[in-house]
Amino acid sequence: MTTTVQPKQRTTFVPWIFYQTLVQRRRTLLYWMLALGGLTFYTASFYPTLVAGNQEALNNLVNELPPYMEALFGKMAGFTSPEGYLDAKLYLLFMPFVLMVYTIRFGTSIIAGEEQAKTIDLLLANPVSRTRVVLEKYAAMLVATALLVGVVGLAVWLAAVLYNFEVNTSGLVAVSLHLYGLIITLGTLAMFIANATANTLVAAGVTAFIAVVSYFINSFAALSETAERLQPLSLFYYYRGHEPLFSGVHAADLGVFALLSAIFLVLGVAAVNRRDLGA
């Protein structure tokens, strides 16, 4: 009598946590995309009206600004060019700090948010590891953030086409990539702190503080020797240090963001696996 051995059936991996996270956040994500896209389009489309017949007056105005104003709000000498206008109005300060609100909230909610909502036990009652939960939710954050950054870039391009002004497409792609790197790094840092402390408010506050300090260190590097020495520690240095909107992608800067995000992700996973959740 021969015995036949049935081959083991391979189970197909289904990233259901990833899909569920995006589905649960679909309305919020849609509202953010519409709001950011509309606001970006409106701001970019205002450029031709602003500079029409006013270039000389605007240049004279910005040239008279004190050095600390230029440090805070960027190099204003090229404000009347499309890239200079977009850099000052959108990519210097506004978009980074608006988008970091989204990613910080997303990052802190990955595990600590589930704990505070008392849903972590239900989630982990499924046959999934803590590591898988973190990684799939983190992947959802990567996708959602990419959609937001992409909508901003698309709105700028659409405004340039419809209102007949030229924008360097490669520079637009470059600044979008650098913006994505900055925002993801901050979101991953927030996730790590929240995973380690189980406190979303502490994680959000510490991450926001680091972002603000980074911005000021990078901004005042040209005016202060102390800030100049600390500049390599600033996340904004790797976002704006080489002015990607004007000069294109800088792989080394993106590499720093990728490395920091990977470190914070590993630390965040380790923090979740070491402590009692929901306690």
Distance of alpha carbon 11 from alpha carbon 19, whole angstroms? 18
Task: Report the pLDDT value the prediction gives residue 221, as an integer from 0 to 100.
Answer: 83
Task: Report the pLDDT value the prediction gives residue 149, as an integer from 0 to 100.
Answer: 98
Structure tokens at 42: 């409106």
Task: Report the pLDDT value the prediction gives residue 236, as an integer from 0 to 100.
Answer: 95
Task: Report the pLDDT value the prediction gives residue 11, as an integer from 0 to 100.
Answer: 58
Distance of alpha carbon 264 from alpha carbon 89, whole angstroms? 31
Per-residue pLDDT tens over the stretch 166-175: 899 999 999 9
Per-residue pLDDT tens over the stretch 110-139: 998 888 888 888 888 888 888 999 999 999
Task: Report the pLDDT value the prediction gives residue 82, as an integer from 0 to 100.
Answer: 85
Query: Which parts of the chain have pLDDT scores under 70?
Result: 1-12, 52-79, 278-279
Task: Report the pLDDT value the prediction gives residue 3, as an integer from 0 to 100.
Answer: 46
Task: Report the pLDDT value the prediction gives residue 209, as an integer from 0 to 100.
Answer: 97
Q: Is 73 exposed, middle or buried (0-12, 13-18, 19+ CB in 10 A)?
A: middle
Cβ pair 182, 238 in contact under 8 A: yes
